[in-house]
Amino acid sequence: MANHAEATRLRASAPRGPLKWIWGAAATGLCVLVTAVLALGAAILAAIRRPHAVTSLTRFWGRLLIGICGVTVELQGLENLDGLRSFVLVSNHQSFFDIFAIATYLPREMRFVAKKELLRIPVIGYALQHADHVMIRRQAGGKEIRRALEIARKGYSFSVFAEGHRFNDNRVHEFSDGAAWLAILTKLPVVPMAISGSGAFFPRSAIVVVPGGKMRMTIGKPIETAGLKSADRTELTRKLEESVRATFVEEV
């Protein structure tokens, strides 16, 4: 589906001014150090089968990185999650900050659906593999289906970036039907969420974060999947994409 909105330039792609550049460089270095330490902690907890402890550590990790970088996170539509024990969260993707903001501010234990390539990252890959996240391997077939169902039965919620990867052009791109397929398979309600602003302070190609930014996560109304079949995933994907486009804003 084409995006009918005109793309706008991100407000910032590098720190402006010497003081802000120093802040950004120092924050970036500190975030790398924090990540190295806490990723190791997450891997150890995952290895000894403490997935709930991994959740708590990840929330602390995310809050720390967001605080170091002076990022403000606005969360709207939280009332739409009332009464939902678990769900499939479907959103666009602009920055790696999206991951930490979701893990930190969503009031559920979130598990991410991620590409298998992330397993190659030392320590982090191990933690992802052993803490009940879903790693997409096309050749795994039925094994991944069974794993997703098992994770859903544990009461976790899933987070899926439906565009497939991060985009820097401040637009919502076409959604794949993987999230809809997962929701129908697990019979969980699916919740659209628009992420706005995060690409301005750490876009995909950035080396140094632009500190002091603001991002917004806008949660839409859930869509029930009970009674839906695999053939309905195209229409469900269309509804999710339209909902995210409707609440996405170019300027936060």
* pLDDT at residue 148, as a whole number: 85
Within-domain flag for 56: yes
* pLDDT at residue 137, as a whole number: 62
For 9, the token pair is 């330039």
Closest to 38 in 3D by CA, of 73, 69, 64, 71:
64
* Structural domain of 182: 18-247
Within-domain flag for 11: no
Query: Residue 4's pLDDT band (boundaries 50, 70, 90)?
Result: very low
pTM of the predicted protein model: 0.89
Within-domain flag for 8: no
**187-214 pLDDT per residue, tens:** 999 999 999 999 998 877 788 999 999 9
Query: Residue 12's pLDDT band (boundaries 50, 70, 90)?
Result: very low
Q: Mean pLDDT across the stretch 42-63?
A: 96
Whole-angstrom Cα distance, residue 12 to residue 201? Answer: 6
Within-domain flag for 206: yes
Within-domain flag for 100: yes
**122-178 pLDDT per residue, tens:** 899 999 989 999 887 655 455 777 888 899 999 999 999 999 889 988 999 999 999
* Tokens 């339209």 sit on residue: 242
* pLDDT at residue 176, as a whole number: 94
CB 172 within 8 A of CB 250: no
CA distances to 63, 126, 165 from 162, rounded to whole Å, are 24, 23, 8
* pLDDT at residue 251, as a whole number: 85
* pLDDT at residue 14, as a whole number: 54
* pLDDT at residue 75, as a whole number: 97
Average pLDDT, the chain: 89
Output 133 or 11, whichever has higher pLDDT: 133
Per DSSP bridges, beta strands 190-196 and 214-219 are antiparallel
- Structural domain count of the chain: 1
Q: Nearest-5° angle of CA 103, CA 204, CA 206?
A: 110
Within-domain flag for 5: no
Per DSSP bridges, beta strands 134-136 and 110-115 are parallel
Output 14 or 207, whichever has higher pLDDT: 207
Within-domain flag for 1: no
> Which CATH number fits the domain that encloses residue 189?
3.40.1130.10
Q: Does the pLDDT of residue 63 top 50, yes or no? A: yes
Within-domain flag for 137: yes
Q: Mean pLDDT across the stretch 53-60?
A: 97
